[in-house]
Amino acid sequence: MVIVISCNNDAPEKLQNLIQEKLLERKTIFLQNKYDDCIRNLMSRVQLEVDSTLSFGSKHLKFDSITVPHDTNRPLKPEITFPQFNKPKRPNSDSIIIK
């Protein structure tokens, strides 16, 4: 295309300008493609990192929900009395129970 234009055009400056414009256009497209590939690669690596962090976090939370930490304060056992209740007498250890 540049050769066809140069045959019909007498001014070499115009030809150089067209060549520079085409070169600039191709450079822009090339750099934009490289930039897009770089962003895509970076986002893929970030996604992998986020997925592994979330996986580790969910496993850690699951383990925490199963185990009871040692430093938890358990409530004291309340004192409950039943006034009409009499404890049954247990037989002595040397007696035989027949059923």
Half-sphere exposure for 69 (CA within 13 Å, toward CB): 6
Q: How many CB atoms lie within 10 A of CB 69?
A: 6
Alpha carbon 76 to chain centroid distance?
41
Q: How far apart are CA 49 and CA 13, in angstroms?
A: 53
Q: Structural domain boundaries of the chain?
A: 2-66
- What pLDDT score does 83 carry? 82
- What pLDDT score does 29 carry? 97
- What pLDDT score does 54 carry? 85
pLDDT tens for the chain, residues 1 to 99:
555 555 665 677 888 899 999 999 999 999 999 999 999 999 999 999 998 888 887 777 777 666 666 656 667 788 888 888 887 777 777 767 676
| Owner of token pair 């304060």 | 73
- What pLDDT score does 91 carry? 72
